[in-house]
Chain A
Amino acid sequence: MSIVLMAPAELPQTAIVLDNPIFTDEIYLQADVKRRYAEDGTPYSYVRSSEGKVHTLTLRMRIEKRFELEEFIRAYYQERWRYTDFNGDTINCYLQTELPEFRAIRDQIYEIRLDLEE
């Protein structure tokens, strides 16, 4: 099983295939809720949310794939990506991670966490 990243989303120029995220992938909502109280004690809620969700992927790869993903990020860091997950669902998203970090976990095996926001 695999996932596919393409960029730019509107007219894909490059596509790369990666192994499935390890463990599971996470999806969470993008919402900000603030509670405020008037002088008479009446509570008010202010909600700022979009329909977009954030997909968090932890990927593990060998050195060749690590260089490929690094080149992909370098080329399309500011562009919208098209992400196809292992279920075949496709979303358009931005890379939300500000400092994508490749971490060596074993000899020539790297791990990276990507946050993709719709």
Chain B
Amino acid sequence: MSTGHAHFSPLARFFHWLMAPLVVAMLFIGVGMVATVSQARLTLIAIHRPLGIAILLLVALRFLWRLTHRAPPLPADIPAWQRFAALASHWVLYALLFAMPLIGWAMLSAGGYPVHLFTGFDLPPIVAQDPHTYALLRSAHTWLAMLLFVTFLAHLAAAMFHGLIRRDGVFSSMARGKRS
């Protein structure tokens, strides 16, 4: 196995592996809570909102770190289309991790809902109450969640592709630190 390539920093890996399960959980919670009539709905909604805001804060910190620290370069022999797909999908992921919580917050604001985070604490609205805005944001929240899930699946497939097939160190650069 290669040990010569660069690895993501411990902080970058911490952000990644903390946020990955949270984001995947959010997607499952989201589609589950709007379909079920069981009491799981209330529990899932109670988790969905504070977890969304937590992800917004985490992605903001992570993005600051990313802007000030380069990611390890991809191996030189990666075909151009895969290089492009890697770059584009990472920017899509960052954009959606910012957009989804903000759209959720704005959507609830436009619908006049309290943006309840936890006992005794509600966030202020960030847009005015308006049915058109609500309808637009509500649909955007669903469709961008679908896009986020598909992008996550592509990311998962690509990670496994690097780890199982190419074995080029890209997977281990995020999976673990450098061994010396």
Chain A complexes with chain B: no
Chain B residues within CB distance 8 Å of chain A? none
Residues on A lying within 8 angstroms of B by beta carbon are: none
